């Protein structure tokens, strides 16, 4: 079946612009995670959604970062006023239940000039 | 808070030789442990996981790992590697349900390079 998909695959933007990154989880998966992979910080957790519960935003690095999940499916990660240190690969993962395996998408490579 | 240490950033090995990639973790609660592999320009793929039960876990592609609670380790092993195993390997830990979600804390990764 279809895996986790993310779009765009690559995004180049100018410093100060806003960007939106999209994640389509595996159908029926109730848990959705965002991670960031960068040279300086490695792989780090950003935010987590589980069903209709309030999201766990504990990993968001600043208030410029936000995410929403509409209808319990698609999620959008928004970065406002992008900075060069936001350059990274943003990975999305989903799982059928909290304790189940997380399946990762291919990621969105964000480059902030 | 939990953390994961992968002591080796790079591991070169000849084809058909055995390999061990080391992973140590720290946590104040019981954890779930994972190994993921990332091939160039691809996302993460789960190799294996330990949730409970037998401490020896077998995964895909001939990999296995052993959970050692006393040494807080979860080393990954393969008895005979292939060129196609060249990739980056990440060890990860989560506190599972006790942590209010299964968010993963990753190690810094180990680049496995298999040579002819």
DSSP per position, A23-62 = EEPPTT--EEEEEEEETTTEEEEEEEEETTSPPB-TT--S
A55 inside 8 A of chain B by CB: no
Mean pLDDT of B37-64: 92
C-alpha R_g of chain B: 14
Average pLDDT over chain B, rounded to whole?
91
Q: At CB < 8 Å, which residues of chain B contact A? A: 32, 36, 42-46, 49, 51, 90, 92, 96-97, 100-109
DSSP per position, A3-25 = --EEE-SEEEE-TT--EEEEEEP
Nearest to A7 by CA among A26, A24, A30: A24
For residues A69-107, b (16+ Cβ closer than 10 Å) or e, as one string?
beeebebebebeebeeebbbbbbbbbbeebeeebbbbbb
List of E strands, chain B: 3-5, 10-14, 19-21, 24-26, 32-38, 44-50, 56-58, 64-68, 73-78, 87-94, 105-106, 110-115
pLDDT tens string B67-107: 999 999 999 999 999 999 999 999 999 876 544 467 899 99
Do the Cβ atoms of A43 and B109 come within 8 Å? yes
The answer on pLDDT for A75 being more than 50 is yes
The answer on pLDDT for A37 being more than 70 is yes
Do the Cβ atoms of A98 and B105 come within 8 Å? no
């Amino acid at each position: 079946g279809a895996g986790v998909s993310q779009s765009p695959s690559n995004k180049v933007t100018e410093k100060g612009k806003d960007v939106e990154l999209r994640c389509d989880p595996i159908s029926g998966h109730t848990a959705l995670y965002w991670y960031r992979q960068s040279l300086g910080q490695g792989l780090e957790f950003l935010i987590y959604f589980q069903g209709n519960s309030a999201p766990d935003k504990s990993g968001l690095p600043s208030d410029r970062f936000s995410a929403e999940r509409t209808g319990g499916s698609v999620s959008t990660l928004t970065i406002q006023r992008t900075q060069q240190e936001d350059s990274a690969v943003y990975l999305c993962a989903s799982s059928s239940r909290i304790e189940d395996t997380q399946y990762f998408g291919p990621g969105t490579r964000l480059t902030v000039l | 808070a939990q953390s994961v240490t992968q002591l080796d950033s790079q591991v070169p090995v000849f084809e058909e030789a055995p390999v061990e990639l080391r992973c140590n973790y720290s946590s104040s609660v019981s954890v779930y442990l994972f190994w993921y592999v990332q091939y160039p320009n691809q996302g993460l793929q789960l190799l294996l996981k330990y949730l409970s039960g037998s401490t020896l876990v077998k995964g895909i592609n001939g990999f296995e790992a052993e959970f050692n609670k006393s040494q807080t380790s979860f080393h990954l092993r393969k008895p005979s590697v292939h060129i196609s195993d060249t990739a980056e390997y990440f060890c990860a830990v989560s506190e599972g349900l006790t942590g209010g979600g299964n968010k993963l804390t990753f190690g810094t990764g180990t680049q496995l390079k298999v040579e002819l």
